[in-house]
Amino acid sequence: MQGQRWLLFLDGHKPLIQVEFLEACWDRNIVCVVPPSNMSSIFQPLDVNFFNSLKSAYEIQIHKYQLGSTAGGASKGMFYGWLQAAWKKAATGQQIRAAWRDSGLWPLKRINTSDRPVTPPPINASTYPVTPHTIRQLQSINCSICSGAVNPEKAIEKAEKGLAKSLTEIELLRYELETIRAGQELDRVARCKKRTRLPQGEVFGQQYREDHLEELAERKEKEVAAKKQRQVKSKSKGKQPASNQASQVSAGPFGTVQEE
């Protein structure tokens, strides 16, 4: 609607705050806001109150499969089905609105950045022991065995299930870590340079535009020149013949290649 001002929250990467993009936002009465770096766990709705629910719903599917199967891995089809079930359970209108509300972005409110989630206390051992997932739970079960409150055979059975689950999770995490590292290496090679961030954040409004006219003009010239240079390089690479060398060789006897 005309006359209204809009807020656009960005993550501070340099490609997102180029002058051409900022001018397009200003012409449309959009104010760009960049929160301080390393604060996505507080200001980003997905990190605040969505991903945890999605992960919990997904882990339930994995736990059911691990407890009822002796297979060492899961197929891609299983992953797709588990993710769909977890998404239907977590991606609700109530959950999404709660994520925006808890992050303080809508409705807009002040947030105390010193508030951090508190780790829940460890689960106490009962007469029938639970499956241990942490060293504290295992130690608690051991103390219960020594005091006679827990049957040792039941405790060993639960410990075996907990160990099998932990080993499976370790293998999954190891595979996930290797995949992430490989992706980061490919991203580093493709970009060939580090991303530039704004550590303290910034608000790109009309006042910023008026106070930095010369600086924005210089930045825009550099960005346009860099863009033209990339286009020239891209066109020059596309014009290079790819079959020159292939036309100068021919197949020789026994499948060898000889020059003509």
Q: Which two tokens stand for residue 143?
A: 């103390």
Predicted pLDDT at 136 = 79
Distance (Å, whole) CA 17 – CA 10: 8
Predicted pLDDT at 251 = 46
| Structural domain includes residue 135 | yes
240 contacts: CB under 8 Å, gap ≥ 6: none
| Structural domain includes residue 188 | yes
Predicted pLDDT at 7 = 85
Predicted pLDDT at 184 = 78
Q: Please name the helix (run of DSSP H) or strand (run of DSSP E) that holds residue 231, with its range, or none.
A: helix 213-239
| Structural domain includes residue 140 | yes
pTM assigned to the model: 0.42
Encode the chain (260 residues) as per-residue pLDDT tens digits: 567 888 888 887 888 889 999 999 999 999 998 888 777 778 888 888 889 899 989 988 888 777 766 666 677 778 888 889 999 999 999 998 998 888 888 887 876 666 555 545 444 434 667 788 777 787 788 887 777 777 888 888 888 888 888 888 899 888 888 888 887 777 776 665 555 677 778 888 888 888 899 999 999 999 999 899 888 888 887 765 544 444 444 444 444 444 44
| Structural domain includes residue 46 | no
| Structural domain includes residue 166 | yes
Predicted pLDDT at 246 = 45
Domain that residue 185 falls in: 122-195
The tally of domains found in the chain comes to 1
| Structural domain includes residue 2 | no
Kindly write down the DSSP assignment for every residue of 71-107, as one continuous string. -S---HHHHHHHHHHHHHHH--HHHHHHHHHHHTBTT
Predicted pLDDT at 72 = 62
| Structural domain includes residue 17 | no
Q: Which of 38, 51, 49 is nearest to 83 (CA)?
A: 51
